[in-house]
Amino acid sequence: MSTRAYACQSATSPVAPFSLDRRALRPKDVQMDILFCGVCHSDLHQGRNEWHNTIYPCVPGHEIVGRVTQVGPKVTKHKVGDLAAVGCMVDSCRSCPNCAEGLEQYCSNMATFTYNGQDRHGGGLTFGGYSDSIVVDEDFVLRVPAGLDPAGAAPLLCAGITTYSPLRHWKVGPGQKVGVVGLGGLGHMGVKFAHAFGAHVVLFTTSPGKVADGKRLGADEVVISKNADEMKAHAGSFDFILDCVSADHDINAYLSLLKRDGTLTLVGAPENPMPVAAFALLMGRRSFAGSGIGGIAETQEMLDFCAKHQITCDIEMIRMDQVNEAWARLLKQDVKYRFVIDMASLKKG
Ligand code: NAP
Ligand code: ZN
Ligand code: ZN
């Protein structure tokens, strides 16, 4: 099926109109009309080849909410007319130990990512949600619970699950002091979830203009990370810190804020390696960890949790043709707190 999209043709070209063909439905496939797609900083890293593995043309977008328009004959989990969602993965091997545990994002044979991936059955490159329709195996399509605003729910598919999963894995909850570094798309969901899980939440931001929003979103305290004295006041006091920063920054400044046995988990994925000072880890038996998105079952759990607790993302809606401007603003830390593309603008355009 011919599909309108926006793609990068190189690391330096703007995101521009492109057309592609979605595959004919396989027996377990679901076809969706895309209504909304969030703009993740990963779209920019990948589109600009900052991770040095981009295959062009690249159609980004992995925070997708849409309406089911067609289903294959063996589909049982979704039906035409349903509001449905697709996140960062569209397939995996389904037989390795990680897939067996519902941790498809860590598939030993590499999950098939929604864009810049290789279709494991038909071959060819996967294209993401900066487009007006998509075809995905039903096992990688999520249900959008009733009562969730579809546009505000779209970024849950990446920013939401990427912060929910580590906060759950490291059992963040009442009685703990938890830091969230960087108030962007991921960070603002990290603050909301850590608050909802009952922790004492401290937001670290480089942007003085975000202090009031940080508190409104659920932070008990906000620290301007450029202020050395404010940082020092929190030395050795955190159980857990979630680092959501997209660019180079000093990780040792945060490791030193952990308590004995505390953990700093990286979800931000900057282009460059970061130097870690041995003594920042040795002193206090601290851990430095990482976490990637979340599995399909946990993503559904997170969506259901959000519906129950009325949690969605704070979004700024844009037209598809404003996406280059949105990327430029991401680089200036100027987003409150996720751009979401209204895909009706692509259909009309
Ligand atoms: P974003 O909306 O652009 O937010 C990033 C935030 O980082 C900014 O708002 C800013 O917060 C802070 N920041 C930016 N530049 C900085 C600098 N030079 N020094 C210190 N702080 C800086 O990005 P996002 O979409 O949330 O994504 C964040 C990162 O997570 C990206 O690298 C993305 O690729 C990665 N990611 C990883 C996964 C995963 O599975 N692990 C999933 C999705 C995204 P303040 O203004 O508050 O300082
Ligand atoms: Zn993402
Ligand atoms: Zn697997």
CATH of domain 160-290: 3.40.50.720
For 255-279, what is each residue's pLDDT tens digit? 999 999 999 999 999 999 999 999 9
- Give the number of residues written for the chain: 349
62 CA distance to ligand 2 centroid (A)? 6
- At how many degrees (to 10) do helices 159-169 and 296-309 cross? 100
Beta strands in 176-247 (DSSP E): 177-181, 200-205, 221-224, 238-243
Which pLDDT belongs to residue 348? 73
Ligand 1 atom closest to 187 (CA): 26
Probe residue for ligand 1, chosen from 157, 333, 339 as the CB with the greatest number of ligand atoms within 8 Å: 333
Q: Quick one: average pLDDT of 216-221? A: 98
Provide the 3-class DSSP secondary structure of residue 264. strand
Best probe residue, ligand 1, of 50, 113, 114, 186 (max atoms within 8 Å of C-beta): 186
Mean of per-residue pLDDT scores for the chain: 97
Q: Is 316:336 a contact under the CB 8 Å cutoff?
A: yes
pLDDT tens-digit map of 276-316: 999 999 999 999 999 999 999 999 999 999 999 999 999 99
Number of CB atoms found within 10 A of residue 41's CB: 26
At residue 212, what are phi and psi to the nearest 5 degrees?
-65, -40
Rounded mean pLDDT, 238-263: 98
Q: How far apart are CA 251 and CA 263, in angstroms?
A: 12
210, 245, 271: residue to mutate for ligand 1 pocket, most atoms within 8 A of CB = 245
What per-residue confidence (pLDDT) applies to 349?
62
In this structure, the residues whose C-beta lies within 6 A of any atom of ligand 1 are 40-42, 45, 158-159, 162, 182-187, 205-207, 210, 244-247, 249, 267-270, 291-293, 330, 333, 335
Sign of the torsion angle spanned by Cα atoms 272, 109, 98, 103: positive
The answer to whether residue 232 scores a pLDDT higher than 80 is yes
pLDDT at 146 over 80: yes
Q: How confident is the model at residue 86, as a pLDDT? A: 98
> Given the CA of residue 207, which atom of ligand 1 is nearest to it?
46
Q: Would the pLDDT of 162 be above 90? A: yes
**pLDDT value for 1:** 87
Residue 332 backbone phi and psi in degrees, to 5: -100, 10
Distance 41 CA to ligand 2 centre (A): 6
Question: Which ligand is in closest contact with the Cα of 88?
Answer: 2
- Bridge-partner residues for 57, per DSSP? none
pTM of the shown model: 0.98
Q: Provide the token pair at 313.
A: 């993302």
d(CA 100, CA 78): 22
Q: Which of 149, 87, 143, 144 is nearest to 313 (CA)?
A: 149
Ligand having the closest approach to the CA of 103: 3
How many angstroms separate the Cα of 30 from the Cα of each of 74, 77, 104, 123? Answer: 10, 10, 19, 18
The widest CA-to-CA distance across the chain, in whole angstroms, is: 63
What are the sequence ranges of the domains in the chain? 2-158+314-348, 160-290
| Distance, CA of 210 to CA of 47 (rounded, Å) | 27
pLDDT cut 90: percent of the chain above it = 99
Q: Are 329 and 184 in contact (CB under 8 A)?
A: no
Q: Which helix (H) or strand (E) holds 229?
A: helix 228-232
**Looking at residues 122-145, what average pLDDT do you find?**
97
Fold of domain 2-158+314-348: Quinone Oxidoreductase; Chain A, domain 1 (3.90.180)
> Within 13 Å of residue 281, how many CA atoms lie on the same side as its CB?
11
- Of 163, 151, 17, give the one whose Cα is nearest residue 85: 151
Q: pLDDT tens digits, residue range 82-122?
A: 999 999 999 999 999 999 999 999 999 999 999 999 999 98
In ligand 1, the atom with minimum distance to the C-alpha of 330 is 3
